[in-house]
Structure 1
Amino acid sequence: MGAGHDHGAGGHAHNHAAGANAKMLGWALALTGTYLVAEVIGAFVFNSLALLSDAAHMLTDVAALVIALLAIRIGQRAADDRRTFGYKRFEILAAAFNAMLLFAVAIYVVVEAVQRFREPEPVQSIGMLIVAAIGLAVNLISMRLLTGGKETSLNVKGAYLEVWADMIGSVGVIIGALAIRFTGWTWVDPVVAVLIGLWVLPRTWVLLRDTINVLLEGVPGGIKLAELRAAITATPGVAGVHDLHVWSMTTEEVSCTAHVTLAEGADSDSVRKAVAGTLDERFGIEHTTIQTEGPTEACEDDEHLHP
């Protein structure tokens, strides 16, 4: 027997908010995506490695906006006979692809920077400055567009933080362009490029680590399985717990299944509701499937794993 909590999209108000968020995300994506193309072109035209490195960072903004839109558009599509969990994993797949692409670009930037340290190349600082200034303006506009939804949507908040972080990269390129313009030190360009890469890579690694953990159906970050097991065991009427599994379909939606052994005389329905309530209140796990069994029905192998 099992008990589950099913929380849907949340009615008209939620759909209206999701629609408004999608609209703002769409505008921000159009702005950022257009500038990304312009910055890549500018990086090669003006021979600026710093612009190329910042473009890689801008790519994270575009990816974050796309992921947020996917979570709203595709993620809300209903499950069907082929995909019983729906389409929510699109968000994770897009994030993993983004992280791997960023690592590839970062390696290219570092290799190119080393080469430019050995053999400095001329950089058109004025063009570099203009492109970076436009990028700063695009970031500020995108942040303004996303401000309204960042308090109500974790996806929008994530995209907002990505744009905010990229603003730092644009400021770095502007400073580098000014330094080259007034000193002629072309080595500043690869230095800024590497610094931006060092700024982006730690967050890229965290993104890749978290997405891999979701794809491997690992225990979500912030949840300690030992504490969760102890909380279930401490629930009145519970004699033991086994076949305990905790995973997430996305970075936000956590699920749990467990086999609970009842104490003598305990009511199965009451125990299931109590365990589900504990998981919701203490760990924020709303999607639960709890199977109860009497003391004589307990599985012999408590470490059995379901695929």
Structure 2
Amino acid sequence: MEHHHHHESHAVTDSLYKIFIVCIALNLLFVFIEAIVGFVYNSLGLLSDAGHNLSDVFSLMLALIAFRLARHPASLHFTYGYKKATILISLLNAVILLVAVGAIVIESVYRLRNATDVSGEAIGWTAGAGIVINGLTTWLLMKDRKADLNVNGAFLHMLMDTLVSVGVVVSGVIISFTDWVWIDSAVSLVIAVIILVSTYRLLKESLFLSLDAVPEGVDMEKLKHDISETSGVAGWHHLHVWAISTTENAATLHVVLGDLSAMERVKTELKEAFRKNGVSHCTIECEQAGNVCKEMECCP
């Protein structure tokens, strides 16, 4: 039996690490400013957008935590290190966001029935600053978004939030010219829907991964096909694929060989097949035809 550990490069350069620190600081500062202006000028749109920006801060921090945990050495008690913690943190973040969305929706419906005066100018200028900050963060992350899934996720999150800030600016302009104060609550509902859509995906993925489901990036049908088509493989069973963290996947496999002399070549080809299908860690056990394990309950 072979234990193959193919470690993909998740090293974070000092420059990228500093970029994340700057992005977190900028967005956290803007969250406080937007929340204060929202309270002062009674704008639910700004308050809900502040909550959305706070989710961006969480997203950036999660990516940063993932980088740190990926570097943490394994121990006798935690043989994979603390990589699984990235999945659990994502699950907690999703639950918190769902609670926030519920609060936004309840308050928005109340405001629609009981409209209050809001300052269109304050909303417009504050959200305009959000476009600048979110746009700058998106630009900073753009260069390295293909280097790591966490970076790409943070990039997409910030890009979406930039578009949301544009929507809030539009509501501020409309209120300034029409006094349609209900637009503020309507925009907050739209923001809540956007957060809900993104949170649902986060909740689904993190919940499934915490239950050791097959990660979305792994095509099991293609992986099965590649294994079956590997020359020298007479059969296979006990294929299991799960996530070690939000960026690394693992698998186990039993293969039946007609000729054990081809074992090393078959292993090499199977490792490549796993790697191409997004699995960086795999444990492969080879068995000779006619001497197959008897536990076939989980076998295809």
Task: Give your verdict on TM over 0.5.
Answer: yes
The CA RMSD over aligned residues, in Å, is 2.0
Pairing 1:65–2:54 present: no
1:279 offset after TM fit, Å? 2.1
Pairing 1:228–2:218 present: no
Pairing 1:139–2:134 present: yes
Q: Residue in 2 aligned with 1:6?
A: 6
Pairing 1:284–2:288 present: no
Deviation per residue, 1:15-68 (Å, 9 max, x gap): 5x5221110000010000111122222222211111122112212210111011
2:70 maps to which of 75, 79, 91: 75
Pairing 1:103–2:98 present: yes
1:298 maps to which of 269, 286, 292: 292
Q: Residue in 2 aligned with 1:268?
A: 263
Closer/same/farther in 2, CA of residues 143 and 228 from structure 1, 3 Å limit: closer
| Amino acid in the other structure paired with 1:301 | E
Structure 2 CA distance for aligned equivalents of residues 276 and 150 of structure 1: 26
Alignment TM-score, normalising by the size of structure 1: 0.90
Structure 2 CA distance for aligned equivalents of residues 156 and 74 of structure 1: 15
Runs of 4 or more, structure 1, over 6 Å off, are none
1:26 maps to which of 8, 21, 42: 21
Q: Is the 8 A contact 1:53 1:196 kept in 2?
A: yes
Q: Is the 8 A contact 2:223 2:273 kept in 1?
A: no
Summarize the alignment of residues 128-207 of structure 1 with structure 2, pairs less than 5 Å apart.
Answer: 128-207=123-202
| Amino acid in the other structure paired with 1:27 | V
Structure 2 CA distance for aligned equivalents of residues 8 and 145 of structure 1: 24
Any stretches of 5+ residues in structure 1 without a counterpart? none
- Most deviating of 187-196 and 135-144: 135-144
Structure 1 CA distance for aligned equivalents of residues 267 and 61 of structure 2: 39
1:222 offset after TM fit, Å? 3.7
The 3-state SS of whatever aligns with 2:128 is helix
Q: Is the 8 A contact 1:75 1:91 kept in 2?
A: no
Q: Is the 8 A contact 1:229 1:241 kept in 2?
A: no
Q: Residue in 2 aligned with 1:117?
A: 112
Deviation per residue, 1:207-226 (Å, 9 max, x gap): 11111121111111143323
Structure 2 CA distance for aligned equivalents of residues 86 and 265 of structure 1: 34
Any stretches of 5+ residues in structure 2 without a counterpart? none
Q: Is the 8 A contact 1:99 1:207 kept in 2?
A: yes
Q: Residue in 2 aligned with 1:212?
A: 207
Alignment TM-score, normalising by the size of structure 2: 0.92
| Amino acid in the other structure paired with 1:7 | H
Deviation per residue, 1:183-236 (Å, 9 max, x gap): 111111110001111222111111111111211111111433233223212222
Closer/same/farther in 2, CA of residues 293 and 98 from structure 1, 3 Å limit: same
Deviation per residue, 1:239-283 (Å, 9 max, x gap): 2111110111123312111111122565333322222222223x1
Report sequence identity in percent: 34
Pairs aligned (count):
299
Structure 2 CA distance for aligned equivalents of residues 113 and 150 of structure 1: 35
